[in-house]
Amino acid sequence: MTPARIVCTIAGVTALLAVLVPRLWPDTPPPAPAPVQQTGAAAQPAARPWFAAPAAPASARADFVTAPAAPLYGRNGRAVDLHGLDVATYIARRNAAARTGDVRAAYDIYQATSLCAATADPLPDFAADADRVQAEAERARIQTLCAGVSAVQLQERMAFLVQAAQAGNRDARIDFFMEGPQGRPLTADAPADDPQLQAWKGQALGYLRQAGAQCDHFALSLLANAYDLGQLVPPDARMTMAYTIAAAAARHVTLSEQQLRTRFGDALTDADFAAAQQAGAQLARQDCPAAR
Amino acid sequence: MKKFALSFVALVVLTQGACAYASEQSTCTTTDKGTFLTGTVTTGPKFQAASQTIDGIKLSHTIIYMRADQDGRSYQVAMDNVYAVDYVQNSTSIPASLAALKAGTKVEVCGEKYSDGSGIHWVHSNCGATPKTTAPNGFIKQISSSGAIGANLERSEAYCYLWN
């Protein structure tokens, strides 16, 4: 039992007594209400060692708008270089190679086509009009680049992605998860018993584990998140912690017991915590032997 | 007797709720070195495009406004999308977990106030580094109508490699 829980238990017992005592001795005055605690003064940072959100309102920020020639990003978040071509031409130049087993060409086609996969996604509410204007301009630029790409090609990108993943391309293995089932975002309300979804989950988990086994810290972190959220597997705090340890080890970072207790102490019993520590160490040894 | 039972239940719930907030506040200000606020979201999530890109990752934010219980003031809350567990790399959309913070939602946040006091940011994990007031181990949690406090929505450490 943590000190906070002990305090809460005492408070609960006090509450019980506070109700019972006036019933037994009606003349006893009612307990005084607990004082409302106020927060302390605002922190006044002198410097921001990492990145930081701006202190000024969003509308005051114009640097993003004036940035030169923004790079293109696929749906997997990776930057794509079309070498000055439009997507249809880029695909056409690699199609034959990809279809005859050139894994690099297959992955390049996937990457380029993935640029076009999000052009119909709704834009969010923006905090600043300038951001919306910028996003709409970017959307228009990509729609122009994607003008000759057919719906069949969009769908086929996932087959090229699988081709690359099956051939051992680590990025492709991660991208398969990032793309979501059938190349659409994974939503919380998707029917859990959908066989296609189940198949995708199994395949995505397998690919992430394979990428993790190649000591890819990002894949290991995504696995930690997957166990945390229950995206591919039922939620499991022990596995979340184990993959968090392994992901850190892949970056040559050792998480202290205190750091782990801060994050996972409340969610795990002592026995589960110890088991997760052991599992994490084993994953790190197995996936990242050179990182030790 | 029914009145007695009801008042007992209400008192216990209130006591436990107040206790939970006090414990969260203590964790935030003492252990995590942050500023703690609770309140109600007044303006739902909006996407703020990145002003910075590191290693090809655009550091976008989700912005909400909340009215704080502590002082009744309105605060802008800037949440880094990369710390959301369901963040999709470089996506121009709000992660679903943060999109759920619609107007009327109760939240508690632990982070660093803006220097002008008008908002709060750094409401996310500090990647295991020792917390400082300028880099707290922050969080943002949803409080359900029953008073239950959810998990930190900004706990993903998948992108910590960008900084350490």
Query: Mean pLDDT throughout A215-219?
Result: 96
Chain B contact present for A229, CB below 8 A:
yes
Chain B touched by A210 (CB under 8 Å):
no
Tens-digit pLDDT profile for residues A116-153: 998 888 899 999 999 999 999 999 999 999 999 999 99
* Confidence (pLDDT) at A193: 85
User: How much is the mean pLDDT over chain B?
Assistant: 90
Average pLDDT in the A87-112 region?
97
Q: What is the pLDDT of residue B128?
A: 83
CB contact under 8 A, B12 and A48: no
Say whether B35 and A64 touch across the interface (CB within 8 A). no
pLDDT-based confidence at residue A23 (cuts at 50, 70, 90): very low
Lowest-pLDDT range, A33-42, A220-229, B78-87? Answer: A33-42
| Pairwise CB contact (< 8 Å): A126 & B48 | yes
pLDDT reported for residue B148: 95
Rounded to the nearest angstrom, the minimum Cα separation between A85 and chain B is: 21
pTM, to two decimals = 0.79
- pLDDT lower than 70: segments of chain B: 1-20
Partner-chain contact A49 B135, CB within 8 Å: yes
Chain A nearest CA to B149, separation (Å): 13
How sure is the predictor about A71, in pLDDT bands with cuts at 50, 70 and 90? confident
Q: What is the pLDDT of residue A25?
A: 41
What residue spans define the domains of chain B? 2-162
Determine the average pLDDT of the residues in A263-267.
90
pLDDT value at position A121? Answer: 86
**% of chain A with per-residue pLDDT over 70:** 76
Supply the pLDDT for residue A200.
96
What is the DSSP pairing of strand B119-121 with strand B106-113? antiparallel
Closest-CA distance, A216 to chain B, in angstroms, reads 11
Contacts of B161 in chain A (CB under 8 A): 217-218, 251
Per DSSP, the residues of A174-217 read HHHHHH-GGGS---TTS-TT-HHHHHHHHHHHHHHHHHHHTT-H
Task: Please report the pLDDT score of residue A53 as a whole number.
Answer: 44
Q: How confident is the model at residue A52 (pLDDT cuts 50, 70, 90)?
A: very low
Per the model's pLDDT, the better-predicted residue between A66 and A149 turns out to be A149
Long-range contacts of the stretch A168-172 (C-beta < 8 A, 24+): A169/A103, A169/A107, A170/A210, A170/A211, A170/A214, A170/A216, A170/A219, A171/A78, A171/A107, A172/A107, A172/A110, A172/A207
Check residue A192 and give its pLDDT. 78
Say whether pLDDT at A74 is over 50. yes
pLDDT at B61: 98
pLDDT of A284 reads: 96
Which residues does B96 contact at the CB level (< 8 Å), separation at least 6?
A187, A188, B86
pLDDT at A43: 33
Amino acid at A9: T
Are B63 and A16 in contact (CB < 8 Å)?
no
A14 touches chain B (CB under 8 A): yes
Does B57 sit within 8 Å of A39, measured CB to CB? no
Q: Residue A210: which of A169, A161, A252, A253 has the closest Cα?
A: A169
ipTM of the complex: 0.85
Closest chain B CA to residue A134: B49
Look at the domain B2-162 and name its fold. OB fold (Dihydrolipoamide Acetyltransferase, E2P) (2.40.50)
Q: pLDDT value at position B141?
A: 97
Give the DSSP H/E element, type plus range, for residue B57: strand B57-58
Spatial CA neighbour of B92 closest among A34, A107, A123: A123
